[in-house]
Amino acid sequence: MIDVSGLRKVYRDRGREVTAVECVDLHVREGEIFGVLGQSGAGKSTLLRCVNLLERPTEGTVTVAGQELTALGEAQLRRARQRIGMIHQHFALLSSRTVAGNVAFPLEVMGLGKAERARRVAELLELVGLADKARVHPAQLSGGQKQRVGIARALAGNPSVLLSDEATSALDPGTTQSILALLKRLNRELGLTILLITHEMNVVKTICDSVAIMRDGRIEESGTIPELLARPGSRLAAELFPLPAPEPGHVTITFTGQADEPVVSQVVRKFDVDVNILGGALEEVAGVSSGRLRLRLTGQERAAALTYLAERGLLVEESR
């Protein structure tokens, strides 16, 4: 649904060149929630703004819903953007307009008539649960309500794609969860493809199907969450399940969905090994409980025990 290839963005600032994004390829499938995770300054915001060409890439192409945006002229690009929703960290609502007026704005841009606008605004506000706030000004709303208005506004043009620029970063934890739940619902009910950027692991593990980890303008790893967790040396796993630095001989096992199986006790019973649990972390990721254990295995049949664990579908990493 979104294809970014060979993306590079260089800023020129008083003669100096600053590379914000380099060699980025991104492939977001239809109907998935794709998260780009990274610290501030990693270039994820630039990447997102390149997707709807708020920033024009220095190199590379961007294709959204089959349309190559980087090949379009200004007027065509404007029309294409009307079909790409975007929500913002600080909501970016117009304080001179009511809630209904804000949601009507993109409809005015699209040139819809007054009656049709009113009908569509009512529909959208109903969808985000703010039907009773239509005539209120944004200043009188809470952060979570403001973001709901932002979401309603972003959906005005029936977009197939929603871009989310740190949409929950300015919200408290409880409100964040309710906005994430709303995004998930819209994703399921409308088949909306969502590309979001965030620095919060919580966002990734709550709603994302796929994730790309970004650092210094490059994507370090990307894929579906189960794929990444099953990949040795995964940064996602390391960040999702923080464990102390391993010493030589330590074994780290990562599991997704097999948390119910008593693998450790099975290993101890089947093989002549002793197991020391040094650390562990467990998380609900995309609705599946996943986790990591740091173990010290000693004994005659250590190698056989490790093979057994790997055969059970666990990712086994040995530190040297």
Partner 1 sequence: MTWDEMGQLLWENTGQTAQMVVWSTLFTVLLGLPLGVALVVTDRGGLFPSWTLNRVLALIVNIGRSLPFIILMIAVIPLTRLIMGTSLGTAATVVPLTLGAAPFFARLVETALREVGGDKVQAAHAMGASRMTIVGKVLLPEAMPGLVAGLTVTVVALISYSAMAGTIGGGGLGDLAIRYGYQRFETTLMVATVVVLIVIVQLVQTLGDTVARRIARN
Nearest distance from C-beta of residue 55 to partner 1, angstroms: 10
The pairing of beta strand 33-37 with beta strand 59-64: unpaired
Alpha carbon distance 98, 257 (integer Å): 46
Nearest distance from C-beta of residue 75 to partner 1, angstroms: 8
Three-class secondary structure of residue 203 per DSSP: helix
- Contacts with partner 1 by CB under 8 A lie at 49, 52, 54, 77-82, 84, 86, 88-90, 92-98, 105-106, 108-110, 137, 139, 153, 156-157, 163
Residue 187: strand pairing partners = none
Nearer to partner 1, 93 or 286 (CB): 93
Nearer to partner 1, 80 or 238 (CB): 80
Nearer to partner 1, 27 or 90 (CB): 90
Alpha carbon distance 4, 59 (integer Å): 11
Are the beta carbons of 30 and 209 closer than 8 angstroms? no
Alpha carbon distance 57, 42 (integer Å): 16
Nearest distance from C-beta of residue 74 to partner 1, angstroms: 9
Nearer to partner 1, 109 or 282 (CB): 109
Alpha carbon distance 88, 48 (integer Å): 11
Nearest distance from C-beta of residue 291 to partner 1, angstroms: 38
Alpha carbon distance 148, 240 (integer Å): 28
Question: Residue 249 — φ and ψ, nearest 5°?
Answer: 95, -15
The residue type of 5 is S
Nearest distance from C-beta of residue 157 to partner 1, angstroms: 8
Alpha carbon distance 99, 140 (integer Å): 10
Nearer to partner 1, 108 or 272 (CB): 108
Residue 293: strand pairing partners = 253, 280
Angle (deg, nearest 10), helices 143-154 and 173-190: 20
Nearer to partner 1, 97 or 302 (CB): 97
Nearest distance from C-beta of residue 215 to partner 1, angstroms: 25
